[in-house]
Amino acid sequence: MSAPTPILEPGAYAHVFDRWRGATVMQFWGPGNVGDLLIRHGAEQLFAAYEMKVTTDAGCANAVFYGGGGNMGPLYPGTRLTRLEARGVASAHGLPLNVQPQSWTGPEEFEADQFFARENRSLEFCPRAVLAPDLGLAYAPAIQLDEQQHDVGWFMRADCERAQPGVAKNSGDPAILAATAEDYVRMASCYRVVHTDRLHFAIAAMIAGREARLYANSYFKNEAMYHL
């Protein structure tokens, strides 16, 4: 049995969080799938590393954070409601609003004090953004992993971001098969090699110390992350 380790240490995010070391922040998350839980838990571990606290009371906060993830732009319009809520709270209390590492699927009119993008292509839609790693790369679940049980596993998505043709050996969409971030890593750890078009399932496999083969999704996210 072995314990997972993060792909990136907290120091890789110094330009994102050093400014807020010891601060109290109000965090907003858009709706997402189990892969987004890797991002949330990675953020929680980074907050702890930078001695930050999270509050639900804007009156006690030094800043408002939104994200990260992959939902800036028009592809997932429902997430914009959460962004607008975050901006409204920040404006009402005179707090800076920070958009944590995101991907943009297109232009979006949205005001914030600081934007972070997790890959280069998103800078085409938000030139103000600063490059920073995906927060899921900082996640290390507090679990023990068993030895691998299978050689190769294929896990392809079944939603609007699907771009791959039918895969005969596909075991299903991993975001549907797992319910928690820990389950995501455990499921990936069962295979020596994971083939997937789910970015965060590939990250889960890497966290588990397995080989990941990442395939293109419907927009540039996976390819841009691979080439970063």
* Predicted TM-score of the model (pTM): 0.95
Rg for the chain (alpha carbons), in Å? 17
Dihedral sign, CA of 16, 22, 25, 29? Answer: positive
Has residue 109 got a pLDDT over 90? yes
Stretch (H or E) spanning 28: strand 24-28
Has residue 3 got a pLDDT over 90? no
Structural class in CATH, domain 10-138: alpha beta
Helix 34-49 vs helix 199-207: crossing angle, to nearest 10: 50
pLDDT value, residue 222: 94
What are the backbone angles phi and psi of residue 150, rounded to the nearest 5°? -135, 160
Has residue 22 got a pLDDT over 70? yes
How many beta carbons lie within 10 A of that of residue 111, not counting itself?
9
